[in-house]
């Protein structure tokens, strides 16, 4: 019998000393539970992903010190095997490091394994810093159990489509009793279910059980959902740890089966996962909470327009940081509707947050007058509209600088896709919460939040209001853009395409094909395609957005600015 603790922790990139302390606390819990082995996530010593910190000698020195501290800690718990992820220095041609897995016990390194498959797609760029490990299997006998090891991507090539090497097959050749996989697998909608399917198939094919340990927490754009799990060849996924929070849980493994420590049956879990709106909610709340904490912010500020995007951003910020730590600013202009202020007031009352008023009519007039005096031409049209957004952005940055609040941008993915935003205006800020959510999903998530709390958190008057930037008389989003239901179908096909989940992809492809078949629809698709391309320069300068979909703007979609798009 092997007693295993899954240490689903939330490491911070670069905080080696803090990560060592987190590992030490988890190991003490494991020892108290009588565990023989504790398993931590991929690169748990440094946090995932350190990026070019790995090129700095001082950072690698801190990694060496951290590893020495971990080895010392293992002497205090001599019966426990610690499975740790860390960068490992290597010799010979190629990169200077491996993405490594170490098994530590009683002050010694008893096993060393280097990740073989290094992802360089989407948000990943591991080949930039690491050399692939050799095509070999590493196994270790712990008691009467033969344990094999792998790291994250090593387990994603069992169909032999992406790499010439299949570590799963190599492990099968070694005939382990159990496989342990350490991971830093970022979350997006549908990812958890994909993990379950992929590893259940592989374990069934090769005939061995597996423990999958994932980290949790937000790191820049990425959010890790945890949801560590155990798989048996016959039953598939039989256990799942908590999702979107740390979890230190101990399982017993005997006779190719898992139970809780002490032999209690494994608890049931929701195999279907979360509805998309609830998933977005939890992902964004965790992402903001960790982003703010790690960047040293305790409070946030949002410009409240009385529209649905700022309302949803405020509601999510309150859930993540607490009402006393969130402020809103309303900045009406001569074109603002009466509801832009009254709806903001009702929203902030519902959320229990402060609303500050800073009208911009006089500032806009002064800028316009100064422009005409300097350049002998009136300020009008798009330039006048953008001026209002830039004045608002400046006021919000003033507030941020003066009071130390993190400014949250409110643009959604539909607007960012086609450039329906003002650079240095409503794109100002440190983080975008809903920048990977399409406009139609903004409405869905807003209704979901109201249903979840059982009251009108976001006023129905905001949800039902026709979207408008309110930068010109009577302006509506549909003056410039097609209805969002149509726009979002086009954007999902052009931006995400095959990255969509199977059900959503089928629906989008059907609707897109019907639209593009007509001459008018085909012309609209061509126009939207050009709008996406022309506005890459805006997205490149915008704040990071929390990723909830497979292909988010930022590191997940890298497109040139100065290019011809046919």
CB 192 within 8 A of CB 160: no
How far is the C-alpha of 551 from the C-alpha of 556, rounded, in Å?
5
Residue whose token pair is 């994250």: 152
Q: Looking at 42, 153, 385, 496, which residue is catalytic?
A: 42
How far is the C-alpha of 183 from the C-alpha of 153, rounded, in Å?
8
How far is the C-alpha of 23 from the C-alpha of 235, rounded, in Å?
31
Residue 243 DSSP label: B
As given in the structure block, the two tokens for residue 436 are: 């990977």
Q: Looking at 105, 126, 131, 152, which residue is catalytic?
A: 152
Q: Looking at 105, 115, 191, 492, which residue is catalytic?
A: 115
CB 155 within 8 A of CB 197: no
Active site residue 105: no
Closest-CA residue to 532 (of 503, 561, 508): 561
Three-class SS state of 218: strand
Active site residue 152: yes
How far is the C-alpha of 525 from the C-alpha of 493, rounded, in Å?
10
Backbone angles phi, psi at 65, to 5 degrees: -65, -40
CB 74 within 8 A of CB 103: no
Three-class SS state of 491: helix
Backbone angles phi, psi at 452, to 5 degrees: -65, -35
Backbone angles phi, psi at 470, to 5 degrees: 55, 50
Whether residue 207 is preceded by a cis peptide bond, meaning omega within 30 degrees of 0, is: no
- Which neighbouring-strand residues pair with 13? none
- Which neighbouring-strand residues pair with 183? 214
Give the count of alpha carbons within 13 A of 109, CB side only. 14
As given in the structure block, the two tokens for residue 280 are: 């977005």
Cα-based distances in Å from 511 to 135, 483, 491, 492:
45, 14, 12, 11
Helix (H) or strand (E) holding 199: helix 191-206
Which residues are marked as active site?
42, 115, 152
């Amino acid at each position: 019998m092997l007693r295993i603790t899954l240490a689903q922790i939330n490491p911070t990139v670069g905080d080696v000393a803090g990560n060592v302390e987190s590992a030490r606390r988890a190991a003490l819990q494991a020892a108290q539970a009588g565990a023989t082995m504790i398993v931590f996530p991929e690169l748990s010593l440094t946090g995932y992903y350190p990026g070019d910190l790995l090129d700095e000698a001082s950072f690698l020195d801190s990694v060496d010190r951290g590893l020495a501290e971990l080895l010392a800690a293992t002497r205090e718990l001599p019966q426990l095997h610690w499975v740790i992820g860390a960068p490992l220095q290597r010799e010979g041609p190629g990169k200077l490091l491996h993405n490594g897995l170490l098994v530590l016990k009683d002050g010694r390194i008893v096993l060393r394994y280097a990740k073989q498959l290094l992802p360089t797609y989407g948000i990943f760029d591991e080949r930039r810093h690491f050399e692939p490990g050799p095509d070999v299997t590493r196994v270790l006998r712990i008691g009467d159990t033969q344990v094999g090891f792998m790291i994250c991507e090593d387990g994603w090539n069992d169909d032999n489509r992406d790499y010439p090497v299949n570590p799963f097959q190599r492990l099968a050749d070694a005939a382990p009793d159990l496989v342990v996989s350490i991971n830093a697998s970022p979350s997006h909608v549908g990812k958890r279910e994909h993990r379950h399917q992929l590893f259940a198939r592989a374990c069934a094919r090769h005939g061995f059980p597996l423990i999958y340990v994932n980290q949790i927490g937000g790191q820049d754009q990425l959010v890790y959902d945890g949801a560590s799990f155990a798989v048996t060849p016959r039953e598939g996924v039989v256990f799942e740890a908590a999702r979107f929070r740390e979890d230190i849980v101990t399982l017993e493994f005997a006779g190719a089966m898992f139970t809780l420590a002490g032999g209690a049956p494994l608890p049931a879990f929701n195999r279907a996962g979360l509805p998309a709106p609830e998933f977005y909610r939890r992902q964004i709340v965790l992402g903001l909470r960790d982003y703010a904490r790690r960047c040293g912010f305790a409070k946030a500020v949002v410009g409240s327009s009385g529209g649905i995007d700022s309302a949803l951003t405020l509601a999510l910020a309150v859930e993540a940081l607490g009402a006393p730590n969130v402020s809103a600013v309303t900045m009406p202009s001569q074109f603002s509707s009466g509801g832009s202020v009254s709806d903001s007031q009702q929203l902030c009352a519902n959320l229990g947050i402060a609303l500050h008023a800073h009208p911009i009519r006089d500032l806009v007039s002064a800028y316009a007058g100064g422009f005409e005096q300097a350049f002998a031409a009136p300020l009008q049209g798009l330039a006048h509209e953008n001026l209002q957004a830039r004045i608002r952005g400046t006021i919000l940055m003033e507030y941020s600088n003066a009071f130390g609040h993190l400014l949250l941008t409110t643009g959604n993915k539909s607007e960012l896709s086609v450039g329906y935003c003002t650079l240095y205006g409503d794109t100002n800020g440190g983080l975008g919460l809903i920048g990977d959510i399409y406009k139609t999903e903004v409405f869905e998530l807003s209704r979901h939040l109201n249903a979840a709390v059982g009251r009108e958190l976001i006023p129905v008057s905001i949800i039902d209001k026709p979207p408008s930037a309110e930068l010109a008389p009577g302006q509506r989003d549909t003056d410039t853009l097609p209805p969002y239901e149509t726009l979002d179908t086009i954007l999902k096909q052009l931006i995400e395409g095959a990255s969509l989940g199977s059900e959503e992809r089928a629906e989008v492809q059907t609707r897109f094909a019907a639209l593009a078949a007509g001459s008018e629809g085909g012309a609209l698709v061509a126009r939207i395609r050009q709008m996406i391309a022309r506005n890459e320069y805006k997205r490149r300068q915008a704040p990071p957005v929390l990723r909830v979909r497979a292909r988010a703007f930022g590191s997940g979609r890298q497109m040139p600015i100065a290019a011809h798009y046919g």
